[in-house]
Amino acid sequence: MSLTADDVNKIAHLARLGIDKQDVAAYANDLSGMLDLMTQMAEVNTDHVEPMAHPMDQAQRLRADAVTELNHREAFQAIAPQVEAGLYLVPKVIE
Amino acid sequence: MHNKTLTELSLGLQAKTFSSVELTQFFLNRIDQHQQLNAYITVTPELALAQAKAADQRIANGRSDLLTGIPIAQKDIFCTQGVTTTCGSKMLANFTAPYNATVIEKFNQAGAVMLGKLNMDEFAMGSSNETSYYGAVKNPWNINTVPGGSSGGSAAAVSARLAVCATGTDTGGSIRQPAALCGITGLKPTYGRVSRYGMIAYASSLDQGGPMTRSAEDAAIMLQAMAGFDEKDSTSVDMPVPDYRAGLTKSLVGLKIGLPKEFFGEGLNDDVAATLAVAIEEYRKLGAEMIDISMPNLKLAIPAYYVIAPAECSANLSRFDGVRYGYRCESPVDLTDLYTRSRGEGFGKEVKRRILMGTYALSTGYYDAYYLKAQKIRRLISEDFKTALATVDVIMGPVTPNTAFGIGEKMADPIAMYLSDIYTIAINLAGVPAMSIPAGFVAGMPVGLQLIGDYFSEDRLLNIAHQYQQVTDWHTYIPTGFE
């Protein structure tokens, strides 16, 4: 299976990932190469195989619904690109 | 001083033959002298000397443990409070972690001294350390070759004695492969054995932290400090941690070693194969029995991994959005531009390649064909390990098909780079523990032997590695120029 430059641009948009125009062809080629590797999987019959999401097959551990963390807003915002009055700033979303 | 083992250094500190401050300064000087290896991203001399001073105080008060005062280094994937934590990326070049990873916390509690943060492939995605934003690390055995990856800085630093020991993380071979290529001992524990809290995520169902050391005994000491249940990691396993050092001396008489034919077939370099045959023969002399086995689904590990790992990576790395922390592009015109350009400018090519692959595999219409299929294949691979480990105690094989390749050699062909991880990836998919131990040299470059055990059999693996290191000296060799 091979991907086109258009496919790559669509995937990049889904991932909100900027890629340089001159690199698009190379990504299409690399991803196509990866997809070629994956054709090996299609040749294997997995009809009655349970998918494995996690090595331990364990259930998600639950905990009591109790407060365990203190408020670290100031420490977390100290490393943010742009904050004001305790809020994260981004470009205007609604005109 | 740098050729002493962790145990010897620990005894020296307890006996006050030298102080932790002296030992720490000695290693800081070595780091400074050997900057050409590019093993460290950040060196933290002030913090290290302050920790060393505190360790000396603790030793004087008789409250020390084996790691107290020992200068170690951390892979730059572990969040370290107040210290730049880059994960090898431009995205986190300005990121000062606001909290400690559990692994960092545990070493702090043990009184270990942190010399600095080690270079790595960007977000642990790579097999050569060449994807690091901070430049490639060089292999101390030949500076024109790669140290392996992604824990390449860790392997180079331990091999060149720029730290007594180091941490690494392993998603598809990132502890074992660089350990093999740099001639050191590396252990990837069972998934869930070491807390992932504060360890920057790449592929969450595969990532596992572990020790990178000069010997199995040192690895036992380090793992003792790292392992254990952590309620802050929802996939941490609540099981008792055995005394790893206590098990090292057990005899190997009657040990059943499985040799999968898939590990010794086409693709394995003849000289590497011959070196491994000698190493395996050594185990026969120690009383082990060899059993030929087959693991027919191993060949599917690479395609399954390159669906599952990128899929998890694309989800994990969506947190880097230029809003809360990390890199933000200049003058974004709107929110989409902010996300797209911050991520486009902040991530390197290999990371982008995997985000694209993962996004595609998870997108509408392709999920069943790729992601679900890969998870089913993962089950088949895992069953192969269960079947094999029901009849043998340990599986042995190569870590890498060849010794270290040249810097730049595989960067133009990502698929060739992926294929070099053929012997390590299946282990992560199954979640079992595995080690790489030094087993000889081919044309002056180290060769690693891989030991793979059943879930939570780290004690047995360390025992098997230690017994080999009692009758061989491959783990004591030092690269020229670093004696």
Q: Where a domain ends, among B344, B375, B406?
A: B375
Nearest residue of chain B to residue A23 (CA atoms): B349
Taking only the tens place, the pLDDT of each residue in A34-64 is: 999 999 999 999 999 999 988 887 777 888 8
- Taking an 8 Å cut-off on Cβ atoms, the answer to whether A93 and B335 are in contact is yes
Question: What's the rounded Cα separation, in Å, for the pair B397 and B287?
Answer: 18
The CA distance from B216 to the nearest CA of chain A, in Å, is 25
Residue B274 lies in a domain: no
B353 plus B404 within the same structural domain: no
B318 plus B186 within the same structural domain: no
DSSP state of B71: E
Q: Return the number of other C-beta atoms located less than 10 Å from residue B172's C-beta.
A: 29
B73 plus B128 within the same structural domain: yes
Taking only the tens place, the pLDDT of each residue in B391-414 is: 999 999 999 999 999 999 998 899
Residue B266 lies in a domain: no
| Paired strand residues for B75 | B118
Question: What's the rounded Cα separation, in Å, for the pair B311 and B362?
Answer: 6
B180's tokens = 């093999």
Q: Where a domain ends, among B375, B408, B429?
A: B375
- Write the Ramachandran bin of B38: left for phi over 0, alpha for psi from -120 to 50, otherwise beta: left
Residue B262 lies in a domain: no
Taking only the tens place, the pLDDT of each residue in B262-307 is: 999 989 999 999 999 999 999 999 999 999 999 999 999 999 999 9
The CA distance from B102 to the nearest CA of chain A, in Å, is 15
Residue B260 lies in a domain: no
The CA distance from B223 to the nearest CA of chain A, in Å, is 20
Write the ipTM: 0.95
> Can B75 be counted among the known catalytic residues?
yes
Question: Average pLDDT of chain B?
Answer: 97
Which among B94, B357, B375 is the nearest to A53, CB-wise? B375
B49 plus B125 within the same structural domain: yes
Q: Which of A52, A56, A73 to mutate to probe the B interface, most B CBs <10 Å?
A: A52
Q: What CATH number has the domain bearing residue B158? A: 3.90.1300.10
Residues of chain A with Cβ-Cβ distance to B190 below 8 Å are 55
In 3D space, the residue among B462, B28, B407 whose CA is nearest the CA of residue B181 turns out to be B407
- Better-predicted residue by pLDDT, B114 or B413: B114
The CA distance from B375 to the nearest CA of chain A, in Å, is 5
B105 plus B167 within the same structural domain: yes
Residue B36 lies in a domain: yes
Angle between helices B216-226 and B102-110 (to 10 degrees): 110
> Can B250 be counted among the known catalytic residues?
no
Mean pLDDT over B168-191 rounds to: 98
Task: Give residue A60's pLDDT.
Answer: 79
Number of domains present in the structure of chain B:
2
B152 plus B231 within the same structural domain: yes
Mean pLDDT over B167-174 rounds to: 98
Task: Give residue A23's pLDDT.
Answer: 96
B20 plus B162 within the same structural domain: yes
B142 plus B227 within the same structural domain: yes
Residues of chain A with Cβ-Cβ distance to B374 below 8 Å are 38, 41
> Can B4 be counted among the known catalytic residues?
no
In 3D space, the residue among B189, B196, B190, B206 whose CA is nearest the CA of residue B234 turns out to be B196
B339 plus B400 within the same structural domain: no
**B324/A contact by beta carbon, under 8 A:** yes
Domain that holds residue B24: 6-254+392-476
* Of the candidate ranges B117-126, B141-150, B363-372, the one whose mean pLDDT is the lowest: B363-372
Angle at B215 between CA B36 and CA B1, to 5 degrees: 60
* Rounded alpha-carbon distances, angstroms, from residue B5 to B207, B247, B248, B406: 28, 18, 16, 30
Task: Give residue A58's pLDDT.
Answer: 74
B200's tokens = 């920057």
**Residue B157 one-letter amino acid:** A
In 3D space, the residue among B125, B176, B147, B113 whose CA is nearest the CA of residue B358 turns out to be B125
Question: Predicted confidence band at A73 (pLDDT cuts at 50, 70, 90)?
Answer: very high
Which among A46, A61, A78 is the nearest to B376, CB-wise? A46
B355 plus B435 within the same structural domain: no
Residue B264 lies in a domain: no
Task: Give residue A53's pLDDT.
Answer: 87
- Taking an 8 Å cut-off on Cβ atoms, the answer to whether A76 and B302 are in contact is no
B234 plus B131 within the same structural domain: yes
Residue spans of the domains in chain A: they are 5-42
Residue B289 lies in a domain: no
- CB within 8 Å of B240: residues ≥ 6 apart: none
